[in-house]
Structure 1
Amino acid sequence: MAAPIPQIKQFLYSHYLLGGLRQSLGVLLPVIILGRFFGHYDLGVIASMGATCVAIIDQPGGPRRYRNNEMLGGIILGTFTVAITGLASASPVLILLCVPLLCFIYSMLSVFGRRGGLIGFACLLLMTLTMRFPMQPQDILLHTLYSLGGGLSYYLFSRLFRKLFWFREERQTLAVALSATAEYIATRSEFYNSDTNLDECYRKLIKIQADMTDKHQAARDMVLRELPTGSGRGDKHKQALLTVYLNMVSVLDSLVATYTDYTLLRRQMGNTDFMFFAHDGLYKLSIDVGNIAMNVARSLHTRRRASVKAEIRAMEYELEQHRNQGMPTNDPETYALLVQILRRLRNVNRIVEHMANNTRRASQNMPVDQYMSKSLSRFLSREDIRLGMLTSNLRLQSTHCRYALRVTVAVLCALGLGALSTHFHDKLGLISALTVHSYWIILTILVIMKPGFATTRQRNGWRLAGTVIGCTGAFLLFKLTDSGEVYLGIMLLAYLLGNSLVQLNYMLSALFNTIFVILSFQFLSTGGTFIIGERLVDTLIGCGIAMAASYLLPSWEANSLDALAKQALVANRDYLHTGLEFARLSRAHSQARLQASHADSSEQAQAELAQLEAALMEADTSWQLSNKNVHIAFSNFAAAFYRMMDEPVGRQRNVSLLNNLLIQNHVLASQISAAVPLLATLQEVPPGIGQSLDAIQTLLTIEDASAPGSIETEGELALLAYPIRQMVKAAQLIRQDMRGLEYSVGPQLPPKEAQERGLAA
């Protein structure tokens, strides 16, 4: 299956390339100004080191205000780091004390999340570059001031860059989320292809959904913090972004609510034309959403090229044929599923059509005021920063403390290796010459090592592959030409691509960064191809130390998966609770509005209607917030599960149980999304459905409950019966799997239940 958007085209119009361009220009600017115009290339390099620290923090995506504060914090900490490291650089003993201490402290900043980890890594990078050579006391102040100036220059440049390219990054952040949505739609279309493996489809869908959730959160933070005010600069652009974002969320909600028992559907429908048209319709919609993503990034209007009208009409014809053959009577459950699939495809097509029409300019009659409510602030991600988070993790049980200790030990090993290489310089000869730059070994360790074992091993492989390919490319370049102009052009292009790809493809980023560093040294010295061997050997040593240290006090993903499974369960339980409350208030509001519409309605009835409207709006917001929390909890659970699958087999635990929990939590959330809107349209909840909902809520508290043997399926209730049955089934399986997790770390399952679950010896 081809991707809805070619990856190269997607990259060229993404905020990753724009962010890489901003970082590259901001870092190289001090060298260009101080070197080209004043002849002080050495001072320009020092200033660029300070700018590099801030550029690492200035990653694409995320709230602009938070990023400004983070860059300022990085400048302060980076300046302190340069001063301390400079003072210690003249004494090997002080370096041996200072560097490991800074490594531990800055690695502990990972407790503050991804942004804290970036600030810590940026400061460690400055430390590593500062310790390259010993400095005299009179040089330390000048070095620190130029590093500070470089950091401030990048900060000001970044602010100016965003002013000049206003809303460009916002549009491209939203475009990245739309591209992820297009890939998600294309993956869902494969469920209607009977030739594909259903388990493989689920695995791929869960991975894509976890990645998509992060990109949706970045777009949410960007758009909801840039809401139109009604009279401000750029309100038309803000309205367009808000319209597209809300439509994107509606598309996702509609698709999530179309979950069905694909095993049953494939068994009943097989390779019928209905399945074929459903597959093609969804895939065409993914192409449409991909085109919209590209046009959002380029600020262009979208003209839809792919149309699903033919598929919808063909599905309507197929459904009519099944109706004439008596399927509503003979197989009402399958017929209700087919009706639901058709309705959802129509709905998604309508939303995509509206999104395409408002790609560049939103409709003028868009109700802006309803989106200015303070309740929307609850949808924004917030990073809690408290000193207590740092001190409470200073214990061996903390994964962050273990990670900091691993980094510290690895850096100590690198320092020891460098000291031995210097001490035995005469005996080691070439080996000593190749490892003379121990700071590169330390830098490799800091880049590779991450809190998770699987991530460290993965980055280790990518770093090695990228370095080897980059060294090979640089070697061939040196053999083909000795033109300085060619070297300079390739060096600048490599630096741009290295910065742009760091979040997308780490191996390619390492490849281009290796070429940039080798060409930089070619300008600074005449080492020739010897520099290539030096970089390669240092990287190999750094990778080896990092991989060996990752086995020290490791934090295996299996240890956190039980807690993440519980969080996913709690998120689904809250999602159901808030959804049922929303449905209850919707029914009450409909009745109150009907009473208030009578000519003889009292003022009390009008007041009750107003109160119900306010309560309904709050309930709707709470339900949508719970929906967001379900996606985040599921994404965290899925990401940790697949990281565990990349760890050694001996460290994997309860793979079957956890995989079933992933699928059933996905099923449950999907069916809640499908059932709640239907419940909201009823005048009253039938007894059988009400008892089933009570049983589901009880099961989600990991208590036994029995659902009624039959539920109402008359008329439109047939559409509701299927998601209710699926919710009961999913809740029962989740309860069993959660009990299985409890017994796996405690008492064994009773023999009878173990035999039923296939877990008996």
Structure 2
Amino acid sequence: MRMQWWRGLGANARNGLQVALGVAGVQLGVGLAAGAQAGLLAAGGAVCVSLLDVPNTPARARRRLLPAVPVAVGVTALLAAVRLLPAGLAQSLALVLAVGAIGGLGQLALAWGARGGALAFAGVLAAVFALSGPAPAWWGQGLVEAAWVGLGGVLGVAWSLACARFSQTHWQRLALADALAATAQVLRVRAPLFSGQLSPGPQGLQVALQTDAAWAAALQTARDLLYGLDPERASAAQQRWLQGLIALSGLRELLLASRVDVELLGHDALGLAWRAELARTLGRMAEALERLADVTRQDGPVPEFSAELWRHDLAGRLAQATPASLPGAGPLPLDVRRPLLDSMQVRLGDLLDDTAALADALAGRPGARVSLRDWPPEALSAFQSPEGWAPAALRRHLHLDSPVARHAARAAVSYAGALALALGLGLLVPWAQHPQWLMLSVAVVLRGNLAQTLARRNDRLVGTVLGCALVALLAAWGQPWAWQLAFFVGVGVAHANVNTAYRRTAAAATVLALVQAHLLQPDQGLPLAERLVDTLLGAGLAWAACYLWPHWERRGLPQRLRQASSLLLAQCQAVLHGQLDPAGQRAQRLCRHQLQAVLDELVASGLRSRAEPRYAQLPQAELQSMLLHAHRATALLGAVQQLRHRRGAQLDPERAQALLAQTVAQAEALLAWPAPGAPDPEPPASLPDAGLTLWPRHEASPDLTPWLQRRLQLLTLELQWLAQALWRLRQP
């Protein structure tokens, strides 16, 4: 019971607390052994390493953290050497050039993604720490300071790896719980689309896409933590979690296909009544997944669900909705719509079955559908986020048309300009004595695109004001021990909220900077006004820098569209031509995973583009149309996949194979990307809907081939609309 508060902490809060304890331990330990100055330098190295510390497995954490140590040591040594130059214009110019190089070269690390951004900021923070203390008296002192920073970084890595090993099962459990909760949220968003309360047009699509993006992020975090497990070495609980996550990913595939044909039930009283009952079933599934998320988070007993009872309840509620019990005549009579309702009831039944099977997998009950033998570690690793620092990823961005290279150039100019301005202000006004703060403000606000920069600017300004107010209260209290405690608490709060609530991180970072300045030079007072002015100037400089050699979202659109088209074609081939064995299922799921990542990036790109100048914005209507038809096509592919996988025995083999081969050929023709330099051909005109709003009526026949044919015809129609949308987006 005494540790319940610790087990109840979220992953980010626990990670932030561990970072704060690690930094405190490094500073106190080194400080007691070698003096307070050495302790502060070592703590700076540990803080630089902590920027890359996220909930992770020990193996992935080791590859992620180690590069921060040479970066922090190198930056400290470089700036120490520059500060050994005689004070004056030459030294100031050398500092400006060094900071520009640190910023520009560091931002090239964005070629490795988000972890590269953390590595780049480790260099910036090392520069801030190096410029915060007095200049070294001779070169040997500079090397000693760099060595203390390196020792702190090594100790920080060791602490982080120990925490990763200690907290691994806790993070895995929380990540799975978050993925379950995110799936429940998706079901709650899908329910209004089923019931007709939310239009399936652009508004409903936007809500669904944003929820799907959060869903995908939660699933990816869980995959990164669980898919690297070796089933033979994993504990019984970890094996259950791994089975549960694989089952949850399969449930996701089925859920994506569940929305096909919902609108065709109609908007009259009878159709809306049916749709309301289907939506109510989704709500019950969401409640079940939320219960599973709660018991997983609390490590409690897993409840057992009966899919048969759910199915019986759904059938009873649908049977009560009859024309006699509802006013208003529908557009189609009951007997025409009944086959479609039966089809949707079967698909929802599959979802109910998979939800109950998911609970069985999490509980470790016998007869679980997911077998870890079908999902070996080498197959699961393909679904994990890339880790490490492959040089090839950097080489791809060493050209002037790369958004990473352009951002690095902007960073170099803006960092150097901010430091030059701060040094100039220091000559004019007596209170501007921390030039590194202005550079730091630019570094934390300037992002790779205008939308994120504006969001960071606002959060930074508000957070700085809050942080200054907290430090003023701390100074009024006047307890000496509180300053050191505030530093450690600030480290933890800043780290825990950097990716979720940056305003809190900005407030904590302000406390850190002001407390550090007070600890290093307690006789110079609290530079609250300087901090506020530096933040205001830095935010303005970062905002202006976004217009320097910009790489608007429009420039990256052709590459993303080509990736989406290529991956959608690969998905068509995997689903329509793929085998139905476990290897084929893994290949189909991997294609779907890669395609979803590109579609999510297109959604994010469209949202970011809205903050850009009007002349540079993406064509929102065309992009929304493309995304709408791409998601409808993937939903139809999911429906075909489930039909082949679950009810393949009810298909005519020869006719089904002919239909599948014909659809693949049509997809290859529609999704073919024009060769470089070749004229962009006009897309084929969309065929009229030749009765595709209707559906097969074969209540007495077990043959489901007509349903497969209808799905494939609808898929071809969606691909034609998609080809038109892609063609419009490719036009200058």
Query: Structure 2 length normalisation: TM-score?
Result: 0.86
The Cα of 1:444 is off from its aligned counterpart by 1.6
Superposed counterparts of 1:84-233, under 5 Å: 84-91=78-85, 92=91, 93-132=93-132, 133-136=134-137, 137-198=139-200, 199-229=202-232, 232=233
1:650 aligns to 2:619 (yes or no): no
Judged with a 3 Å threshold, the aligned counterparts in structure 2 of structure 1 residues 189 and 322 are, in CA distance, closer, same or farther, namely closer
Take 2:269 and 2:554, find their aligned partners in 1: how far apart are those partners? 39
1:559 aligns to 2:555 (yes or no): yes
Structure 1 equivalent of residue 678 of structure 2: none
Structure 1 equivalent of residue 714 of structure 2: 726
Identity %: 20
Take 2:222 and 2:719, find their aligned partners in 1: how far apart are those partners? 32
Structure 2 equivalent of residue 356 of structure 1: 359
Take 1:310 and 1:324, find their aligned partners in 2: how far apart are those partners? 26
Q: Which amino acid aligns with 2:66?
A: L
| The one of 645, 648, 653 aligned to 1:684 | 653
Take 1:668 and 1:674, find their aligned partners in 2: how far apart are those partners? 10
| The one of 40, 51, 55 aligned to 1:56 | 51
| The one of 381, 403, 406 aligned to 1:402 | 406
Take 1:549 and 1:48, find their aligned partners in 2: how far apart are those partners? 32
The Cα of 1:349 is off from its aligned counterpart by 2.9
Q: Which amino acid aligns with 2:18?
A: R
DSSP-derived class of the 1:343 partner: helix
Judged with a 3 Å threshold, the aligned counterparts in structure 2 of structure 1 residues 677 and 23 are, in CA distance, closer, same or farther, namely same
The Cα of 1:224 is off from its aligned counterpart by 1.9
8 Å Cα contact 1:100-1:412 kept in structure 2? yes
Take 1:33 and 1:154, find their aligned partners in 2: how far apart are those partners? 12
Judged with a 3 Å threshold, the aligned counterparts in structure 2 of structure 1 residues 363 and 44 are, in CA distance, closer, same or farther, namely farther
Take 2:502 and 2:336, find their aligned partners in 1: how far apart are those partners? 47
Q: Which amino acid aligns with 2:222?
A: A
Q: Which amino acid aligns with 2:82?
A: A
**1:387-442 Cα distance to aligned partner (Å, 9 max, x none):** 45445533322211110111111112112212211222xxx3xxx40x32110111
Take 1:352 and 1:679, find their aligned partners in 2: how far apart are those partners? 20
Structure 2 equivalent of residue 26 of structure 1: 22
1:440 aligns to 2:444 (yes or no): no
8 Å Cα contact 1:453-1:554 kept in structure 2? no
| The one of 464, 467, 479 aligned to 1:467 | 464
**1:15-54 Cα distance to aligned partner (Å, 9 max, x none):** 222221222222221222234x458222211101101111
Superposed counterparts of 1:34-45, under 5 Å: 34-35=30-31, 37-38=32-33, 40-45=35-40
8 Å Cα contact 1:664-1:733 kept in structure 2? yes
8 Å Cα contact 1:693-1:724 kept in structure 2? no
The Cα of 1:85 is off from its aligned counterpart by 1.6
Q: Which amino acid aligns with 2:143?
A: L
8 Å Cα contact 1:239-1:362 kept in structure 2? no
The Cα of 1:142 is off from its aligned counterpart by 1.4
1:414 aligns to 2:410 (yes or no): no
Q: Which amino acid aligns with 1:704?
A: P
8 Å Cα contact 1:75-1:152 kept in structure 2? yes
Judged with a 3 Å threshold, the aligned counterparts in structure 2 of structure 1 residues 512 and 309 are, in CA distance, closer, same or farther, namely farther
The Cα of 1:494 is off from its aligned counterpart by 4.1
RMSD: 3.4
Judged with a 3 Å threshold, the aligned counterparts in structure 2 of structure 1 residues 282 and 683 are, in CA distance, closer, same or farther, namely same
Take 1:388 and 1:548, find their aligned partners in 2: how far apart are those partners? 32
Superposed counterparts of 1:566-585, under 5 Å: 566-582=562-578, 585=579
8 Å Cα contact 1:299-1:360 kept in structure 2? no
Judged with a 3 Å threshold, the aligned counterparts in structure 2 of structure 1 residues 117 and 89 are, in CA distance, closer, same or farther, namely same
Judged with a 3 Å threshold, the aligned counterparts in structure 2 of structure 1 residues 528 and 291 are, in CA distance, closer, same or farther, namely farther
DSSP-derived class of the 1:165 partner: helix
Superposed counterparts of 1:192-591, under 5 Å: 192-198=194-200, 199-229=202-232, 232=233, 234-261=234-261, 263-265=263-265, 267-268=267-268, 272-303=272-303, 312-313=311-312, 315-320=314-319, 330=333, 334-359=337-362, 361=364, 363=366, 367-372=371-376, 374-382=378-386, 385-387=389-391, 389-391=393-395, 393-424=397-428, 428=429, 432-433=430-431, 435-476=432-473, 478=475, 481-484=477-480, 492-521=488-517, 530-582=526-578, 585-586=579-580
8 Å Cα contact 1:692-1:708 kept in structure 2? no
Q: Which amino acid aligns with 1:211?
A: A
8 Å Cα contact 1:284-1:307 kept in structure 2? no
Judged with a 3 Å threshold, the aligned counterparts in structure 2 of structure 1 residues 482 and 373 are, in CA distance, closer, same or farther, namely closer
Take 2:316 and 2:690, find their aligned partners in 1: how far apart are those partners? 34
DSSP-derived class of the 1:704 partner: coil
The Cα of 1:266 is off from its aligned counterpart by 5.5
8 Å Cα contact 2:128-2:440 kept in structure 1? yes
The Cα of 1:86 is off from its aligned counterpart by 1.2
8 Å Cα contact 1:113-1:383 kept in structure 2? no
The Cα of 1:120 is off from its aligned counterpart by 1.9
Moved more, 346-355 or 69-78: 346-355
| The one of 700, 709, 729 aligned to 1:741 | 729
8 Å Cα contact 1:174-1:219 kept in structure 2? yes
DSSP-derived class of the 1:246 partner: helix
8 Å Cα contact 1:211-1:635 kept in structure 2? no
Judged with a 3 Å threshold, the aligned counterparts in structure 2 of structure 1 residues 343 and 482 are, in CA distance, closer, same or farther, namely farther
Judged with a 3 Å threshold, the aligned counterparts in structure 2 of structure 1 residues 12 and 400 are, in CA distance, closer, same or farther, namely farther
8 Å Cα contact 1:301-1:358 kept in structure 2? no
**1:530-584 Cα distance to aligned partner (Å, 9 max, x none):** 43322222111111111111110111112212321232222121111111113xx
Structure 2 equivalent of residue 81 of structure 1: 75
Judged with a 3 Å threshold, the aligned counterparts in structure 2 of structure 1 residues 389 and 348 are, in CA distance, closer, same or farther, namely closer
Take 1:420 and 1:477, find their aligned partners in 2: how far apart are those partners? 31
Unpaired runs of 5+ in structure 1? Answer: 1-8, 587-615, 746-761
DSSP-derived class of the 2:499 partner: coil
8 Å Cα contact 1:301-1:356 kept in structure 2? no
8 Å Cα contact 2:223-2:384 kept in structure 1? yes
Query: Structure 1 length normalisation: TM-score?
Result: 0.82
Unpaired runs of 5+ in structure 2? Answer: 86-90, 674-682
Judged with a 3 Å threshold, the aligned counterparts in structure 2 of structure 1 residues 516 and 723 are, in CA distance, closer, same or farther, namely farther
Take 1:159 and 1:289, find their aligned partners in 2: how far apart are those partners? 32
Moved more, 208-217 or 567-576: 208-217
Judged with a 3 Å threshold, the aligned counterparts in structure 2 of structure 1 residues 474 and 71 are, in CA distance, closer, same or farther, namely same
Structure 1 equivalent of residue 583 of structure 2: 618
8 Å Cα contact 2:277-2:317 kept in structure 1? no
8 Å Cα contact 2:110-2:404 kept in structure 1? yes
